[in-house]
Structure 1
C-alpha cells in the first residue's frame, strides 16, 4: 500500500498548549553553549529558544523502538516511521519574554508524498503561533520528512578531508562530542536513539556514528547573530542538507550584508551541512 493511500483522510485538528517561558532551560542551554545566561526574567528570548519549552514527555511505554513516541498528534499514520528534521521558517513579530506564560497554537500546515531516490517520503509541515499577553509574537513553521521501514539503498559516509575553513567575519568552531549531544537531548526531551545510542545508530539506522541534532545546528547558526549582531532577528529560513556525525569538527560561519545575513554549517571535505538566511531589524 502506498504512503499516499495510508494518509488518505489524515487531518489532525489544531492543538493548544500553554507553558511558562522559564529562565531555567535558558540558563541550561547557555551553559551548554559555554555562555552566560542568554536571557533572564523579563528579558527577550533568543530566536527559536522556545524549542526548550512546550516539551512533551510521553510515558516510557509509549515510546517506539527508536525512542520516538509510537503515536502523536502530528505524526503521520505510516508503518515503521523514520523521521528527519528537514528545515523550517520563523517570523519574530516581537520576542517572547522570559518568565511570562505563553500559548502555542499548532496546526498541520501541509502534508505531501514525494518520490525520492530512496523511495516514497512524506513531507509534513507543522505551523505554530506563539502568543504572550494576547499578542502573536512568533510564527514558527517546521518541516519534517518521514520514510517508512528500512531502506537498503541509503548509505551515509563520515566526512573526511581537511578541517573546514571560511573567510567570513562570523565564525564559531564546534567540537561535536557525545556530551554535547546528551545534554541537548535532555534539554529538548528528545529520546531519539540516533543521538545517544551508538549501537542503535550504526547497526539499525546504519549511520556511521551518532547523529548531531538538526535543531542544534540551527541554534548554533543563530548563535553567530546573537553574539556578533546587535540588531534583532525578524525572520529566518533554514535548511538541513547533510547529517553531521558525532566527532566531526564543524565550522559555523556567516556574514551580514545590509539587513540580512547568510549562515552555514560546514564540515570536513567541504561539505555544507546546514544553511540559513536571517532578516534583521
Structure 2
C-alpha cells in the first residue's frame, strides 16, 4: 500500500467520482535491458550465477527490474511512495495495494537487447467492500524488441482513500516453518537486508519494506512487509528451476495476504499436464499468493 495526496477525502464522494474524467494517455518508454539488474537479483536470491547474460532469455517477470521510474526525491510522499504519477488515480489520501496480474509471452525478452514498452490504462472499476470503497485500476503494458511484440502484461492495482482497516497479527513466530507435500518447493526467510536490496532493485521507496518503526506506528503492521512482486517472482522460480526446458507461455498471479519480514515462507508448485499451480505459504496461512503457469 502507498499513500499520496495530503488532503483528506470527502466523505460524501465515491472514489469513482474522482476518476470520472481521468483518462491518462498511453506512454511509451525505452530500456536497454542491461544484464546488471539480472545479476544483482540473482545474487539477492543466493543463486550461484546470473540466471541470464547478454543474449539470453529474460525469465518471466524479471522485466520488473527494468523500465523503472525514478522521480525526484521531493516528489515522494511521507511514506516514500510518489505523490503523483501518470497512472496514479487522483484519489485523496490514496492507499495503494498490488493485487495481481497476468502475462502472455509470445517470445521471451532478450537481455542486452533494447526494448520498448507502451503502457496504457485498460480499465477502472469501483467496488464496495466491508472496509469501504475500493478502486480497481488495471494497467496494460506491451513490450517489443526488434519491432516485434514479445510480451503483454496486465497489472491490477487496488486503491482506497484513507487508512487500511484490515487486521494484522500483533506478533510473528519467525521460528515456525510452513509444511506442505508438493513436488516443487522453495524456502525463504526474508530479512531486512534482502527486502532493502529488493526495494533498491525495483526502485521502490515505500517505507513499509525497510522502515520497521514506520510499519508499526503508522501502518499498523507487526513488521516489515515482504514485497508482493517478490512473492510472485519466488513462485515463478519453481518452474524455472524444476522445468527449465519448458517455456512459460502465459501466467497469472494473485496476492491475497501479506507476509512479513523474518517469517519463514515457502513457495510450492504442482506441475499439471499443461503447466503448474503455484502458491506461497507460511505457518499462518496456506495461500498468501497464488499463481498458475501455462507452458508453450
What runs of 5+ residues in structure 1 fail to find an aligned partner?
none
- Whole-Å Cα distance in 2 between the matches of residues 197 and 211 of structure 1? 10
- Whole-Å Cα distance in 2 between the matches of residues 22 and 180 of structure 1? 22
Higher strand share: 1
- Whole-Å Cα distance in 1 between the matches of residues 82 and 177 of structure 2? 37
Q: Is the 8 A contact 2:256 2:289 kept in 1?
A: yes
- Whole-Å Cα distance in 2 between the matches of residues 130 and 136 of structure 1? 6
Q: TM-score, normalised by structure 1?
A: 0.97
Q: Is the 8 A contact 1:163 1:269 kept in 2?
A: no
1:27 has 2:39 as partner: yes
Q: Runs of 4 or more off by more than 6 Å in structure 1?
A: none
Deviation at 1:270, TM superposition (A): 3.7
Q: Is the 8 A contact 2:176 2:264 kept in 1?
A: no
1:153-196 Cα deviation digits (max 9, x unpaired): 32111565952111111000101211110010000000011001
Q: In the alignment, what sits opposite 1:53?
A: 66
What runs of 5+ residues in structure 2 fail to find an aligned partner?
1-12
Deviation at 1:8, TM superposition (A): 1.0
SS at match of 1:181: helix
Identify the match of residue 29 of structure 2 among 17, 22, 27.
17
SS at match of 1:185: helix
1:257 has 2:272 as partner: yes
Deviation at 1:6, TM superposition (A): 1.1
Q: In the alignment, what sits opposite 2:193?
A: 179
SS at match of 2:124: strand
Q: In the alignment, what sits opposite 1:213?
A: 227
Q: TM-score, normalised by structure 2?
A: 0.92
User: Number of residue pairs matched?
Assistant: 280
Map 1:1-281 → 2, pairs under 5 A? 1-35=13-47, 36-151=49-164, 153-157=165-169, 162-229=176-243, 230-281=245-296
- Whole-Å Cα distance in 2 between the matches of residues 241 and 137 of structure 1? 29
- Whole-Å Cα distance in 1 between the matches of residues 111 and 224 of structure 2? 32
